[in-house]
Structure 1
Amino acid sequence: MSVAMREVAEMYLAPGEFRFATCPTRLRTILGSCVAITLWHPERRIGGMCHFMLPSRMRCSKALNGMYADEAIELFLRQAKAHHTEPEDYQLKLFGGGEMFPELQRHVPYGDVARMNVNAALEIAALYRLDLIAQDMGSTGHRSIIFDLCSGDVWVRHQPIRTRH
């Protein structure tokens, strides 16, 4: 049966969630300052997406949490191993990191979360030597993301914030 004739499972990721799935599945999320990492294995048509909120946390022996970039990538690596695949065989795409309150940026004492998330995603790609084939990060506003595991396609709808002059 062709993929077009199969029913496609739709899964929504809330902030901090991680999913690994197979075709026919579409993963969706909405991002502001958070970042989505998508990894797709083109031959096996498997992959995953996370919606991370922060680069990292101080971790004792707590379970891995997709809320943090460094832990989300560990979840991906575990899934790659569980599916008898190598991380470098996956295609990486990165999305999000939009500044949600640009007019307040210079008044925020704890830093630019969106920029920290974008930097964390790029550092992870370099550290693990992942094949980064597409990215849409930064700017302002939010993005709606749909990741199709049958084709590896990711559709992005970016709604920038209009600043007042």
Structure 2
Amino acid sequence: MADIFLHPGDYHFGNAGTRLQTVLGSCVSITAWHSALRIGGMCHYMLPGRRPGDPGPPDPRYADGAIELFLRDVRRANTTPSQYEVKMFGGGEQFPELDIPAPLDVAGHNIEAGMALLERHGFALTVRDLGGTGARRLIFDIGTGDVWLRAPDRARGRDGNTA
């Protein structure tokens, strides 16, 4: 089995025989898995989006760029977003003792952007573990669609759902 570690701003789409891993703080990861074809991918984005009008190809450092890459690979596989099991993780506050003003709440904006983009493009979110505090470690097996989540020493996510 190929093990691929995603660093902040990375994206990978592949098939069975691949296991993707990452560690999240305020960043967000989305996994998308097609059960019949046993293909899927994962992103690790750091920010909600680029400034409007910024040129260049889709950039997976941003939620909008990561979703563009998912859409590209979904089309290449002759599939549609609704055929994928989608899970979303992260957006944890890393400094809960600080009073961060809402406009500077990167974790919260990352969550909002990802949820809105998934809905806008027809991806059905099946599992989420979002918000709270501290780090999360994820492992995604593209062959089975399983996602393992380890979140030591953190408060529960905002919605309480788990993988």
TM (normalized to structure 2)?
A: 0.89
Of 25, 35, 41, 2:34 maps to: 41
Q: What SS class does the counterpart of residue 97 from structure 2 fall into?
A: helix
Structure 1 gaps, min length 5: 1-7
**Deviation per CA, 1:91-114, whole angstroms, max 9, x where unpaired?**
11000000000111x155851111
Identity level (%): 46
Residue 61 of structure 1: CA displacement?
2.3
Give the distance between the partners of 1:125 and 1:18, measured in 2 at CA: 16
- Work out whether residues 37 and 50 of structure 1, in 8 Å CA contact, stay in contact via their aligned partners in 2: yes
What is aligned with 2:62? 68
Residue 125 of structure 1: CA displacement?
2.1
What is aligned with 1:131? 124
Of 151, 157, 162, 2:150 maps to: 157
- Work out whether residues 139 and 160 of structure 1, in 8 Å CA contact, stay in contact via their aligned partners in 2: no
Q: What SS class does the counterpart of residue 26 from structure 1 fall into?
A: strand
**Deviation per CA, 1:29-68, whole angstroms, max 9, x where unpaired?**
0000000011000100001000000110114321211000
TM (normalized to structure 1)?
A: 0.88
Structure 2 gaps, min length 5: 156-163
What is aligned with 2:161? none
Write out aligned runs for 1:3-152 (5 A).
Answer: 8-58=1-51, 59-104=53-98, 106-107=99-100, 110-152=103-145
**Closer, same or farther in 2 for the Cα pair 1:47/1:109, shift >3 Å?**
closer
RMSD across aligned positions (CA):
1.5
Give the distance between the partners of 2:29 and 2:154, measured in 1 at CA: 19
Q: What SS class does the counterpart of residue 95 from structure 1 fall into?
A: strand
Give the distance between the partners of 2:9 and 2:93, measured in 1 at CA: 18
Larger Rg belongs to:
1
Give the distance between the partners of 2:104 and 2:120, measured in 1 at CA: 23
Give the distance between the partners of 2:102 and 2:116, measured in 1 at CA: 24
